[in-house]
Amino acid sequence: MTYTVKVSELYQRAKEMLDDGMDIVEVDFHEGDEDLPRCLMFCASSKSDFGGTDYDEIYTVKP
């Protein structure tokens, strides 16, 4: 399945994680339901904090 998102939003989210000192990120491809539309969801962590920090999701767009 293909997910199309705006490059500017993807860049902004990645920059937030880098600025926060994050080293790794889990990306969840949410297929959408009645509570949340189709989107990418992010949980990042640093080498010193493996608990994970959730970041704002990025909603898909029509190409």
Does residue 47 form part of some domain?
yes
Domain boundaries, position 16: 7-59
Does residue 33 form part of some domain?
yes
Confidence (pLDDT) at 5: 97
How many domains does the structure of the chain reveal? 1
> What is the reported pTM?
0.86
Q: Is the pLDDT of residue 15 over 80?
A: yes
> pLDDT class for 29, splitting at 50, 70, 90?
very high
Does residue 1 form part of some domain?
no
Q: Which of 18, 59, 55, 62 is nearest to 40 (CA)?
A: 59
Question: Once rounded to an integer, what is the mean pLDDT over residues 24-30?
Answer: 96
Length of the chain: 63
Give CA–CA dist 47/32, Å, rounded.
31
